[in-house]
Amino acid sequence: MPNVTPTEDEVAGWFDRYSNWGRWGAEDLLGTLNHITPSMRAAAARTVEHGRSVSCAWDVRMNALDDGGRIQSQRMMLRTGLGYRDGGEEDVSPAGARAVDGHLGTASEIISMAFHGRPITHIDALSHIFWKGRMYNDVPSAYVTDRDGATVHDVRTVAGGIQARGVLLDVARAQGRDWLDPREPVFPEHLEAAERAQGVTVGPGDVLLVRTGEGARRTNGDWNPALNGSPGLHVACVPWLSERQVAVLGADCPQEVTPSGYENLKLPLHGIAMAAMGLWLIDNCQLEDLGATCAELDRWHFFFSLGPLRLTGATGSPVNPLALF
């Protein structure tokens, strides 16, 4: 597929052209997850050879800000291990104030996360994105309310998890580079070049992970989040993603190149992929470990397993996607 940059009008027109509204019924919630069949899932599991598991998530830092400087995560301890004597007794505090009984003590906490921010690894539910006030399959945006959150398209659609064949396209490695530049777009030709270099082909029902090297740049390179802007897929990849019948798209960045390159279109890939196609996205994957493992084994597909939290009314979930070889 050649590298052609569509015009703004063409992109706007793609919403209808690549829409899956009604394709799997008027009540469909799964979107592109319909591409994954049970037999694909079983076949993927049976390809496991080494029993080697790789996490595709970053550590969740606590009491931290996201890349945009907004509050992202907090940990507030409810019980600590401070003040216990060797007997497990705390003899100074007021009676009953410690969770101590006999020898036992416990520690616990509250965690809080605004998980959609960068760099927390998370899945976007189809309620996360609206286009002209509509979610996937023509659901009005007003179904995401202040009181109840997402009353349709919450993340529990994938309560049973996502298990499928995973494929890594390591675009940076295929080009012999450590990482792509901050605002560098990935076009279909780059994806296909990686396929050729790696000897793998993305097909129906695959979980596609794209590595730009953003993680390496973040940890080893010249990182300045204030610079704003990320490498990622150009919206020109929409037809390719549709044609290949990709079930889930993940990347080591928020998926798409930012800025988008279009004056009046912000996050057009998110808009068209999620709201029109019903394509599930996993943002901010940590693909450094996965890239290294794939290169070491010279094997670019694996069994992919993801268990999102079953958060009622949530527009997504923090996750720890696992690749098993």
Q: Are strands 322-324 and 53-55 parallel, antiparallel or unpaired?
A: antiparallel
Scanning residues 265 to 304, which ones bind a copy of itself (CB under 8 A)? 265-268, 270-271, 303
- Which is nearest to 174 in space by CA: 163, 164, 186? 186
Q: Which of 142, 176, 222, 224 binds a copy of itself (CB under 8 A)?
A: 142
> CB of residue 2 vs a copy of itself: minimum separation in angstroms?
27
Q: Which of 5, 106, 201, 220 binds a copy of itself (CB under 8 A)?
A: 106
> CB of residue 211 vs a copy of itself: minimum separation in angstroms?
18
Q: Give the separation between CA 39 and CA 136, rounded to whole angstroms.
A: 26
Nearer to a copy of itself, 57 or 172 (CB): 57
Task: By CB under 8 A, tell whether 102 contacts a copy of itself.
Answer: yes
Tell me which stretch binds a copy of itself (CB under 8 A): 103-111, 172-180, 191-199, 218-226: 103-111
Task: By CB under 8 A, tell whether 93 contacts a copy of itself.
Answer: yes
Scanning residues 181 to 200, which ones bind a copy of itself (CB under 8 A)? none
Task: By CB under 8 A, tell whether 226 contacts a copy of itself.
Answer: no
> CB of residue 295 vs a copy of itself: minimum separation in angstroms?
18
Q: Are strands 185-186 and 134-135 parallel, antiparallel or unpaired?
A: unpaired
Q: Taking the mean position of all CA atoms in its chain, how far away is CA 72?
A: 16
Dihedral sign, CA of 59, 50, 309, 211?
positive
- Taking every pair of Cα atoms in the chain, the longest distance, rounded to a whole number of angstroms, is 74
Task: By CB under 8 A, tell whether 103 contacts a copy of itself.
Answer: yes
Scanning residues 26 to 85, which ones bind a copy of itself (CB under 8 A)? 37-43, 45-46, 48-55, 57-63, 65, 70-71, 74-85
Scanning residues 118 to 137, which ones bind a copy of itself (CB under 8 A)? 127-135
Residue 71 has a CB neighbour count (10 Å cut-off) of 13
Give residue 211's identity as a one-letter amino acid code: R
Task: By CB under 8 A, tell whether 101 contacts a copy of itself.
Answer: yes
Nearer to a copy of itself, 131 or 179 (CB): 131
Exposed, middle or buried by CB within 10 Å (0-12, 13-18, 19+), for 78? Answer: exposed
Q: Which of 137, 163, 230, 258 binds a copy of itself (CB under 8 A)?
A: 163
Task: By CB under 8 A, tell whether 148 contacts a copy of itself.
Answer: yes
Q: Give the separation between CA 117 and CA 158, rounded to whole angstroms.
A: 21
> CB of residue 115 vs a copy of itself: minimum separation in angstroms?
7
- Which is nearest to 129 in space by CA: 315, 294, 254? 315
Task: By CB under 8 A, tell whether 98 contacts a copy of itself.
Answer: yes
- The answer to whether 33 and 162 are in contact (CB under 8 A) is yes
> CB of residue 189 vs a copy of itself: minimum separation in angstroms?
26
Q: Give the separation between CA 242 and CA 265, rounded to whole angstroms.
A: 20
